[in-house]
A = this chain, B = another copy of it.
């Protein structure tokens, strides 16, 4: 029986540098997923297993493990003899994912709602403040980061773990495409500022709902915002291509 104690001691005394196989796996996985989501690896870009192996100080084997998982989540696609490339989805598929995200957002406020306590409310308020402070400089990367942070916080409104995981998965599939689509538009700078202001408004509204201990209302607000966000980006994209090719008239 002392073996278990020994093992527990070793696990507890494990420093941040000497991680086990599981910890290393998670670390690399999170790092790569973040890079894909933040467009460090753009859709269509090719990843070389050997480069990643060298960077993380391991061989190709554990890297491949991570890549398989990312492929299972639809973020990568490995082709024998060609390479592992970051997936890119067209507007039709994106619409389907958003269609689903909209519904799941509402469900987050409806299914197994978490008890909203003071610390939870405080976290929402902090995000809102971070938002207000950062409104002057609309850095795309910072916007993506805070957007992700808020997503996770909103997601914690439900205790339904499967719902959380599925929402998270769809989120990571869409935001990067959203960012990529937005960055290709000519009115990129203004659009980003507008989106940030709208996002700021969303955070404020949802924080208010949370303050009133009303997760369902928060869900409805977020549902509407996600739907409108996609509608805006699609309109902007359509208008952009319409402006790009009027020379043929």
Query: A residues engaging B (CB < 8 A)?
Result: 20-22, 64-65, 68-69, 71-73, 80, 93, 96-97, 99-100, 103, 107, 111-112, 159-163, 166, 170, 173
Contacts and interface: CB of A to CB of B under 8 A. Distances in A.
A69 to B, nearest CB: 5
B96 A162 contact: yes
Contact of A96 (B20, B103, B112): B112
B68 A163 contact: no
B166 A100 contact: yes
A99 B160 contact: yes
A50 to B, nearest CB: 17
A99 B112 contact: yes
A93 B20 contact: no
Contact of A162 (B71, B111, B170): B170
22 contacts: A20-B80, A64-B65, A68-B69, A68-B72, A69-B69, A69-B71, A72-B72, A72-B73, A93-B161, A96-B111, A96-B159, A96-B160, A96-B161, A96-B162, A99-B111, A99-B112, A100-B166, A103-B103, A103-B107, A103-B111, A162-B173, A166-B166
Given A99-B111, A162-B173, 9 more contacts: A21-B80, A22-B80, A65-B68, A69-B71, A72-B72, A96-B161, A99-B112, A100-B162, A103-B107
A93 to B, nearest CB: 7
A125 B93 CA distance: 31
A38 B19 CA distance: 37
Nearest to A29: B72
Contacts of A97: 162
Contacts of A163: 96, 100
Contacts of A160: 96, 99-100
Contacts of A159: 96
A124 to B, nearest CB: 24
Contacts of A93: 161-162
A187 to B, nearest CB: 29
A38 to B, nearest CB: 21
A166 B73 CA distance: 11
A79 to B, nearest CB: 8
